[in-house]
Amino acid sequence: MVARQKNILIYIHGMLPLPGEIATGNGIRAQGLAEGLKTKGHNVHYCTREDFVTRNFKSSNIKNFHVFRDKKEFMKTIELVKPVIVIFEQGDGLEYIDSSIDIPIVADLFAPRILESLFLDSKIYRDKILNQMLQFRKVDFFLCSTERQKYVLASILFLLGFYNKKLPIGVVPISTSPILPYRSFVRKFKDLTFVYGGVFWPWQNPVKCLAHLLKTLEKYEKVRLVIFGGEYKYKLDNFKYKNSVKEFSNSSKLIFKKMIPYDKLLHFYRQSHIAFDIMERNIEREVSFSFRVIDYLQCGLPVLTANYSELSKDIDIYKAGWVVDDAKPEKVKNILEKILSNPGILEIYSDNAIKLIEDKYTWDKTIKPLEDFCKKPNKNNILQDFFNLSQKTIKKQEKDLVETRQEVEKLEFKISEYQKLLNSTQTYAAKLEKEKKTLYDEFLVKSKGFEERTLWLESSQKTIKKQEKDLVRFEQEIGRIKSTKWYKLYEKVSSISKKKKT
């Protein structure tokens, strides 16, 4: 009995890679997951917003592709498709569903956006990433593209409440079709062609290594570097790109081309000889998995890459390119001279590049973690109250906050009244201090006069006492004189004289 096909819905924030159109990572990744799931017997549907629809899409006749305008129409799409799981590329679009949805949700976080935001001077973009992370609580299973990314994601999920020993994370590398196009060195360009392609992202800085490459190429004839680059297909808020080729505009070995449609880009790669993918080391570059390197390898292009990159170990083991110490970009010169002195080695390395893809990076092989989840999809039981993020806790906190605000308002009123009283008291205290000073000054003046009068009085008392002593002494002297015979004679004479006058 043939098992019934399971419907799976993939939301793309953009569009699938279409002939004649510039592709995006979201579209390439969605196509890779879909094709991988199809090899396991699943029936895959796509959906995107109406504003991402292009003229080429309308004429492409892609099956099972749905277009919507808003959340209501998106939910109708889910009702129509009846998927066993819904996949959201990079977590975009999670805002269209409610936490109560009973369908298992998968977020495919193939690029470390939180680390990319470190290199952007854009608060809007960083806020968007942080708000999107809160939407992850709706997700039941996560995908990333490297083991390194898994550890970064595990920390984020722990903080969001996914608190269990086995975190719901699967690693699915960027992958390509197991049926690779025909390749032949006969069809390659006559001039030895190095290629470097992709968006000029702010977190990618290849300038120093490109300088060493071009300086070496100047010594040789019939060699060139072709760079395809520019801005992202869709506008990003407050996003600043850095043109990595401006300072090399005078180089005779450099050809710069703007971004071209994906099918034409891969065709150009197949006719080239070597790909260049060495950039200044940073935390985003260490954790990321490069779409462009997978494109190079599937086109038979051996790659010059940095020793810290996720693919560097495989490239070295398979001899599918050359690994350079990022701290010593001058080593590029030695490798290039070996290649240019023995170009025949390129055909061997080209075959090795294809071999590496066939062995490890085709979507029928890499899809297993997602396929395992599709076999037994389940809803996650995350801790709804972890770090006080549950609705119940939030409502309680809101209630507490209202009560606290009311108490604060009462206290503010009391403080205002106390402040008025304090101001009044301070004013009265200042008045008393002033009166005190006035009284004290008056006291000093009066006390000075009092001291002077006291001194005068003391002096007068001394004089009186002296005069009293003199008076006593005088009276004693008079008494003594009166007692003498002479005084008695004087009194008789005076008495006789008075009688005569009478």
Q: Would you give per-residue pLDDT tens digits along the chain (502 residues)?
A: 345 678 999 999 989 999 889 999 999 999 999 999 999 999 999 999 998 888 777 767 788 999 999 999 999 999 999 999 999 999 999 999 987 889 999 999 999 988 888 888 777 777 888 888 888 989 999 999 999 999 999 988 888 888 777 889 999 999 999 988 766 655 677 889 999 998 888 888 888 888 888 888 888 888 999 999 888 777 765 566 667 677 777 888 999 999 999 999 999 999 999 999 998 899 999 999 999 999 999 999 999 999 999 999 999 999 999 998 876 777 888 888 888 888 889 999 999 999 999 999 999 999 999 999 999 998 877 655 454 455 566 667 778 878 888 888 888 888 888 888 888 888 888 888 888 788 777 777 777 777 777 777 777 778 878 877 878 887 787 777 777 777 777 777 777 777 776 6
Cα–Cα distance, 208 to 224 (Å, whole number): 17
CA gap 354, 134 in Å, rounded: 40
Closest CA to 36 of 67, 62, 8: 8
Cα–Cα distance measured from residue 324 to residue 330, given in angstroms and rounded to the nearest whole number: 9
The pLDDT, as a whole number, for residue 261 is 93
* Residue 382 pLDDT: 65
Domain limits of the chain? 7-176+372-388, 185-361, 391-485
Q: What pLDDT is stored for residue 494 in this prediction?
A: 77
CB 253 within 8 A of CB 8: no
Whether 185-361 and 7-176+372-388 are alike in CATH topology: the answer is yes
In one letter, which amino acid is 397? Q
Radius of gyration (C-alpha) of the chain in whole angstroms: 50
Using alpha carbons, select from 115, 139, 140, 119 the residue that is nearest to residue 129.
115
Residue 239's pLDDT is: 62
CATH for 7-176+372-388 is 3.40.50.2000
> What is the rounded CA–CA span in Å between residue 132 and residue 88?
12
Tell me: domain 185-361, CATH 3.40.50.970, correct? no
Alpha-carbon torsion (76, 79, 82, 88), positive or negative: positive
Type of residue found at 440: Y
Largest Cα separation within the chain, whole Å, is 190
Report CA-CA distances (Å) from 204 to 35, 261, 288, 385, 491. 29, 22, 11, 39, 147
What the block records as the tokens of 318 is 């398979």
For residue 287, which of 111, 414, 72, 74 has the smallest C-alpha distance?
111
Strands (E), 205-269: 223-230, 254-258
Q: How far apart are CA 314 and CA 4, in angstroms?
A: 38
pLDDT at position 84, please?
A: 95
Alpha carbons within 13 A on the beta-carbon side of 107 = 26
pTM of the model: 0.74
